Structure 1
């Protein structure tokens, strides 16, 4: 799915109150699948699925999409080398083959990955999909005019940092320059040469950049209007840059080559740009076409959730679940007094997570966090609480630490947050923290900024404040894209968007990241990521606050509800409307 973190700009910005976020598993009590009320019955082919969204499906080009998971709509049209397993809960955190026959065959040091395509793969016009099409699809994603996709291929492929795509003319004036680190020895084989070991390449191969694009059909920046489908549906129309997207069956798609997508509806009608309250009202009423409607980006807010919970029929149509995401307090140790570890520890002890969760909408929408990694096995979740303060904080312990740090009479600090009502960095959460820290003798002055100003300030190495509200989510369900951007010292960016807020550059941490990246056994890697999280957590560079819980309505005529822990979004590739 789209990377859920501050450095992305689409459905990535989870907001339960403003309905920008990921959804979860069917049924009010957890993973529902076809057994949850309103979602049962044997699914059949036919009918029209309506998708009601607040955010337009912009940039519907595989080169420009961050991942295929954003609302799941792209994965109906774009197939990739690998994909997520379309199953409920934790089972859906597994990576599985898609266009490829397997997860890839790594070299001994995981710097070379080889894939073989399945037989019988076809585009919507009946022509065969080749490895050269995948290579070209990746190469065009490097073009400046098609920016927006994930950065990994640029970072991992040999020569990727210098390659500018096939559109730009070389010294000889000719266009069509290729990236030598991707080889296609035949029509079904593609080989990637990486500049360092990357055991998680099978996860990366789920990114939409590995979608095949036939060079002869590439229209550059207008390709998004009618991208050539490799999936079960093709684009019939794309109005107002994704505001309304109409999909119909790709008759050349074959379930024999695709065990993941069920493709029950005959048609998918995606309508975006709608007010979140209107979406929830329409899904609640579930009349006409809205009876077979879902949303892939609009959650229930606290007030709406309270109303729905009181209605058994509506409650049976609420999806509940989780996505790998953490909201936290971030310290900048370069700013006094946060250069003193005991001050950071004091803040950690003083935090009242129960009041923070109430400010975030209550326990139905947020769960307390003491670890940086989300509490899911695929991330390598290892329970720890280095600064145990219970649900409501331990102000006495915090005061003792302040005395040891040289502040026997307390101190005054500033907390920077966004003024946007976006659930994660909201004024309500900042105020709850302010009240809690006051009990420990810490006076918190709040600095609320307009959202763009907030992002510029906290992600600038020269402007980053000493303490601010932050959040991070996963490009795929693993500890790698969670820990490395935040704690790998080699990823500190001095001029540009920096996410290593603690400016940690610990050789032992950097080395362990490299060692884990060599592992092609994803389960073994997960264990190592969990241990590394626990080690880093002891330095109190962050204070984990909570992991979001997502609530979402779907129409009364929806069948076969499947929502995985990979995306946290109701998977429309599984939904039936009959």
Structure 2
């Protein structure tokens, strides 16, 4: 996944793909307090209100990520596979959805076969077929429907040149549907994590006869437990009601307790948290999927037992870090990068983000979750407050006995994980090691354009990365695979690392269909890359969100990091 378009902390001091996010150990009971949210048997009925900042724009499966929009899309769009809807680490597993299993690999994981369950229907009662899934994927290649996950363009044979069904009527030969319930994917390289990819909304079925192109988002044809009754102002107000043709017998993951789900967006973060705190009227049965509590709000809530019991804690694979461009002096010198790694004071960075309740110090690039392959290591142990003496010694070895002056580029958005507060904390820490840091603050859009273009990329800057699914693959490959360096476009391999041994190991891990074995290899690769001091991991964010007093059956997985509205009951 690209860095969050609405940063984790910005979207409420929160986030959207982060609505997928996390950083410590997402749990329901301890964090969300079992008493308020998990007591009593969930009952069907009622209306669930979702209060968000960011609108659920482009409500079309071709233009979305499954995780995007805080779980709302997955209420309407079922896919071949989906995430396991359980608390914490158990929720990091991929499970079957429309398909009977998570996929059958063959030919060294270059061919994946899926069989559909019996009894699958759209909101109009017609049967869902494998041809509909093929068509849904093909339309995601159309330029006018861009915005969704890019992987299939790279993974499918012929995907690079395919322009979608509106221009290329022949379709993709690498997707074969031998019968109405079977679909086979032919890949140009081994991809053991294909079952994860099959959770993304581009795998949702779309009946070709009902496709209205760019207008499809206004009323997409539902394959999930809810259908769209209303979509106003491009997702600012979406109302979902029951799809009477959905059957729980075919869907073990979505509970679909409420009769209606009312998604209201475009709201101010403080207003959302105040409404959830008060919990009057319809707000008693409300949640948010993109708005965190600030440190000040959290401090007030902790003293109120009833309110504290309604705080959910989420963790998603996301890391905030300092990035180096070794093509720019003095960062071409490994000892300079190592000196900065030793000098960093993670305690002040954590404090800048609101304290340990909202951020946890990171010494590894991979998040601290088993599914990513997390391997505990600290290549440049700086302790809690930095090791200035070691940093100075390394600077001397690097030819800077009197220190040096550098410029740190950061986002100007306040209370952002790449914002001025964190930049100032880094500045103060490096000062103790004899490094003078000048701050180069950029407006948000200009910041993104500057740091992700090879032509303008600074020597050192703040950034972050989150994974599209809970594995080391989508975390390490986009950032460190030399073949993913983009010279004329947005580039995320900031170090411009093109190490043949790293590239080869990525390929070897991708061949593995044993995801546990793959995770171990991702962790080892993280350590190998980390020792090169190409980044300085700073923190893994922690997300705290309130929910209404009538909300029951709270589930927060490590996959999304937010309360899963497919599990919520309001009665």
The TM-score, its normalising length taken from structure 2, stands at 0.97
How far apart are the structure 1 equivalents of 2:336 and 2:471? 31
Change beyond 3 A, Cα 1:92–1:28: closer
**Conserved in 2, the CA contact under 8 Å of 1:486 and 1:499?**
yes
Question: Which residue does 1:63 correspond to in 2?
Answer: 62
Change beyond 3 A, Cα 1:451–1:496: same
How far apart are the structure 1 equivalents of 2:432 and 2:380? 17
Question: Which residue does 1:243 correspond to in 2?
Answer: 236
Which runs of 4 or more aligned residues in structure 1 lie more than 4 Å from their structure 2 counterparts after TM superposition? Answer: 11-14, 23-28
Q: 1:271 aligns with which of 264, 276, 285?
A: 264
Deviates more, 1:302-311 or 1:224-233: 302-311
Change beyond 3 A, Cα 1:17–1:235: closer
**Conserved in 2, the CA contact under 8 Å of 1:71 and 1:296?**
yes
Question: Which residue does 2:467 correspond to in 1?
Answer: 474
How far apart are the structure 1 equivalents of 2:280 and 2:170? 53
CA offsets, 1:38-81, max 9 Å, x none? Answer: 43111000000000011101000000112244310000000000
Question: Which residue does 1:163 correspond to in 2?
Answer: 162
Q: 2:318 aligns with which of 321, 325, 330?
A: 325
Question: Which residue does 1:282 correspond to in 2?
Answer: 275
Give matches, 1:88-107, under 5 Å: 88-107=87-106
**Conserved in 2, the CA contact under 8 Å of 1:51 and 1:269?**
yes
CA offsets, 1:100-148, max 9 Å, x none? Answer: 0011111131101000000000000110000000000001111111010
Give matches, 1:173-572, under 5 Å: 176-572=169-565
Change beyond 3 A, Cα 1:38–1:139: closer
Q: Is 2:13 the counterpart of 1:18?
A: yes
How far apart are the structure 2 equivalents of 1:18 and 1:382? 29
How far apart are the structure 2 equivalents of 1:38 and 1:208? 29
Question: Which residue does 1:173 correspond to in 2?
Answer: none
**Conserved in 2, the CA contact under 8 Å of 1:16 and 1:423?**
no
How far apart are the structure 1 equivalents of 2:104 and 2:10? 39
SS of 1:37's equivalent? helix
Q: CA deviation at 1:15?
A: 3.2
Question: Which residue does 2:119 correspond to in 1?
Answer: 120
How far apart are the structure 2 equivalents of 1:14 and 1:81? 32
SS of 1:132's equivalent? helix
How far apart are the structure 1 equivalents of 2:139 and 2:216? 11
CA offsets, 1:379-429, max 9 Å, x none? Answer: 000000010110000000100000111100000011000101252111011
**Conserved in 1, the CA contact under 8 Å of 2:112 and 2:186?**
yes
Q: CA deviation at 1:12?
A: 6.4
**Conserved in 1, the CA contact under 8 Å of 2:7 and 2:14?**
no
Give unpaired runs (5+ residues) of structure 1.
171-175
Deviates more, 1:114-123 or 1:67-76: 67-76
**Conserved in 2, the CA contact under 8 Å of 1:67 and 1:150?**
no
**Conserved in 1, the CA contact under 8 Å of 2:12 and 2:290?**
no
Give matches, 1:76-91, under 5 Å: 76-91=75-90
**Conserved in 1, the CA contact under 8 Å of 2:37 and 2:554?**
no
CA offsets, 1:218-271, max 9 Å, x none? Answer: 000000111000000000110111111011100100011000000000000110
Question: Which residue does 1:40 correspond to in 2?
Answer: 39
Q: CA deviation at 1:37?
A: 3.0
SS of 2:185's equivalent? strand
How far apart are the structure 2 equivalents of 1:565 and 1:153? 24
SS of 1:543's equivalent? strand
RMSD: 1.3
How far apart are the structure 2 equivalents of 1:153 and 1:504? 24
Q: CA deviation at 1:516?
A: 0.1
The TM-score, its normalising length taken from structure 1, stands at 0.96
Q: CA deviation at 1:308?
A: 1.1
SS of 1:455's equivalent? helix
